[in-house]
Structure 1
Amino acid sequence: MRWRTELRNRRGMLRWANASSGRLSTLTTAYTFAALLAPFFVASPAIAQGVNADAWNAAISRFEQKMEAQVAADDVGGVSAAVASGSDVVWARAFGWADRDRRIPAGVGSIYRTGSISKTVTAVAMMRAVERGFIDLDQPLSEIFPATARFPGAMAGAPAPTVRQFASHTSGLVREPDWDIAASGPIGIWQERVVESIPLSRFQNAPGAEYSYSNIGYGTLGLAVARAVGRPFMEFVEEDVFKPLGMTSSTFVIGPELAPRLTVGYVNRGDGNPAPEQPTREHAGRGYKVPNGGVYSTVGDLARFMGALQGRASPAILSDESVAEMSRVHTPEDPDNGYGLGVMIRTTDGGARLIGHSGSVAGYNAYMLFEPESGLGVVLLRNYNQGQASLGAAGQELLVELLGALR
């Protein structure tokens, strides 16, 4: 098995000059606590062959102006944003408030819930288990987790859905269980909530027939991964994904050392007055939604994670084969646009192939997107999920413009 440890892109190594000193740096040094709370961290691209610095800076400036205007118009929460080359942050800035009522500004190290980006984390954990021989992507999930044989509504004569189908949202399962409290309850009972949700979910399509996004499918997949490796799910992810990548601000449970950087999530309850999400619901009551929506993180940590998804992290945690398998379309509708294993795949009108995921959970939005050929990616995190800013549109527009500066 060959492991990629070098950081590269199709125009060669991208290195960046520190804006204040002019020294070349890959910006991999740890942030100080003060830097984590700072509103911005920036390095400008060195004048190098293939990089149009004016176009690059203009794209960043347009994005900044857009975020400043939209966050000011909301006057509720904030946005933390980063641009990465491989695993390295090359530009980052925060806008607005981490805590509006206490007037604490958002920082580049502010911590947010990432919603369904957690599914990508679960898929990486799954591939780690595959590489070690604990799981075969094409085996029925029920061989690992027999309770899943109790999902009702299986199509007559259809084969049992496989691990691959659960990971690509082609298992045929509905989006959510038919159970009001499935997504409530303390994190300590999330596994019980998954098991209890199984007979209250159902198949709506034959396995493999079509793409059908399923939160309960990913909750089940995460518990199956834990059963396969013989370790608690959160422990396995922390030790086998977060720790080797240096994702020191990523977790499922916010402890006292990270609590000062946790942003307050805001929701609009329909009265025109956005308010903080109820803490018991937001940070304690998650029910079965741990593998599919439970990760807290920062833009810097997710930049490292994007590098791993491209095989550009050091140390590498995925083989080239696993990276390729995750990054190809597994849904049947369109070979160029669809869902891989834990990632969304889109081809732009200009022919750029973009890979990433979005996330939305009460009080928070998240978005990460990268182009694997160049290694460039963007991460946007927000603590208000009904604001004026469309993170997906803003993030894709920024990435496409930055890619244009490389050509």
Structure 2
Amino acid sequence: MSVLAQIEQWPVENAVSVVVDGNGKIIGRHGDEEKIYPLASVTKLLSTYAFLIALEEEAISLADPAGPEGSTVHNLFSHTAGYDFDSDVIRFPVGTKRGYSNIGFEKLAEHLERETGIDFPSYVQEAVFGPLGMASTEIAGSCAKDGRSTAADLAKFAAELLNPTLISSATMSEATRVHFEGLAGILPGYGRQNPNDWGLGFEIRSSKNPHWTGASHPAATFGHFGQSGTFLWVDPVDRIACVTLTDRNFGPWAAEAWAPFNEDVLRQYS
């Protein structure tokens, strides 16, 4: 029996999981791949890709001032601008801590809208969803948390993360390395991490403990999880990715179930 069938034992009404290999093919699947789920912060991965495209097109640059005084696009993109989690309150000086923030991402989208004259939901649709054939995906609201999608669409996106076609491999490598190294911070749901490593939009596993990926996942593993009970990770060493969506909010059940599940996925498919 596929390890993915473990999701049937989780305390959720609906769940789906797919595994994508380095060739972009689905090599494991369980559940309804066409059911639409709210993504919560997995939305940030989709928005990140749009921001990276904008960087390559030189519509924006990492050095652009954006956010609080002294902050840049680079700070917003890597959660070091000093913002509170979900308000525009400034909690710390720019660049001194890793302060995971929805507001920071929303400020980044506002900056892109000003520079391009295109509203962000339209930009990400034209830049990402359309080219990848993600017909069941949208961001209706916050670029940080209001995405909706299916496992089928996110499998296409995971394939793109493994084999970039919309951005260069150099841009992808830059986005998935640690930016502002050595900063401590809170990983929501898992407590203080030192360091709390992040790339450009992508959370990087690094040495974090506890963590939602498995203990054997390479430090270079990147992705995101969402409060709505969703996650997507990419292992660039073993060249696999996993998308898992549920309809129950993240909580102790997920903190307990996800890491061993992801460990088993890595063991079976790598």
- TM-score bracket, normalised by the shorter chain, equals 0.7 to 0.9
> What letter is aligned with 1:173?
Y
Deviations 1:113-156 (A, max 9, x none): 11111112112111111111111112212xxxxxx4xx5xx5xx
> What letter is aligned with 2:97?
E
| Partner residue in 1 for 2:199 | 340
Within 2, Cα distance between the matches of 1:395 and 1:209? 34
| Partner residue in 1 for 2:47 | 122
| Partner residue in 2 for 1:234 | 121
CA apart distance, 1:167:
0.6
Deviations 1:197-242 (A, max 9, x none): xxxx222222111200111111111121122222111111011101
**Is residue 216–residue 263 contact of structure 2 (8 Å, CA) maintained in 1?**
no
Within 2, Cα distance between the matches of 1:126 and 1:351? 27
Q: CA RMSD in A?
A: 2.3
Within 2, Cα distance between the matches of 1:78 and 1:344? 26
Which structure 1 segments of 5+ residues have no match? 1-56, 95-106, 142-147, 155-159, 178-200, 254-288
| Partner residue in 2 for 1:220 | 107
**Is residue 368–residue 378 contact of structure 1 (8 Å, CA) maintained in 2?**
yes
CA apart distance, 1:355:
0.9
**Is residue 172–residue 205 contact of structure 1 (8 Å, CA) maintained in 2?**
yes
> Residue 78 of structure 1: which of 14, 25, 31 is its match?
14
Q: The residue matched to 2:229 in structure 1 has which SS?
A: strand
> What letter is aligned with 1:340?
G
Within 2, Cα distance between the matches of 1:300 and 1:351? 24
Structure 1 residues 191-340: aligned runs within 5 Å:
201-253=88-140, 290-310=142-162, 312-313=163-164, 316-333=165-182, 338-340=197-199
Change (3 A) 1:211 1:386: closer
> Residue 64 of structure 2: which of 122, 134, 139 is its match?
139
| Partner residue in 2 for 1:93 | 30
| Partner residue in 1 for 2:186 | none
Within 2, Cα distance between the matches of 1:203 and 1:292? 18
Per the normalisation by structure 2, the TM-score is 0.84
> Residue 381 of structure 1: which of 245, 254, 269 is its match?
245
CA apart distance, 1:245:
1.0
CA apart distance, 1:350:
4.5
CA apart distance, 1:402:
3.0
Which structure 2 segments of 5+ residues have no match? 184-193, 208-214
| Partner residue in 2 for 1:275 | none
Within 1, Cα distance between the matches of 2:104 and 2:196? 21
Within 2, Cα distance between the matches of 1:109 and 1:351? 28
Deviations 1:287-316 (A, max 9, x none): xx5110111111121122122223x15xx1
**Is residue 197–residue 206 contact of structure 2 (8 Å, CA) maintained in 1?**
no
CA apart distance, 1:374:
2.9
User: How many pairs does the alignment contain?
Assistant: 249
> What letter is aligned with 1:324?
S
Percent of matched pairs sharing the same residue = 27
**Is residue 47–residue 143 contact of structure 2 (8 Å, CA) maintained in 1?**
yes
**Is residue 167–residue 341 contact of structure 1 (8 Å, CA) maintained in 2?**
yes
Is 2:232 the counterpart of 1:368?
A: yes
| Partner residue in 2 for 1:172 | 82
Within 2, Cα distance between the matches of 1:324 and 1:386? 29
| Partner residue in 1 for 2:259 | 393
Per the normalisation by structure 1, the TM-score is 0.57
CA apart distance, 1:333:
2.1
Change (3 A) 1:368 1:221: same
| Structure number with larger C-alpha Rg | 1
Deviations 1:138-196 (A, max 9, x none): 2212xxxxxx4xx5xx5xxxxx111011011011111122xxxxxxxxxxxxxxxxxxx
Change (3 A) 1:386 1:237: closer
Within 2, Cα distance between the matches of 1:93 and 1:308? 21
Within 2, Cα distance between the matches of 1:230 and 1:336? 37
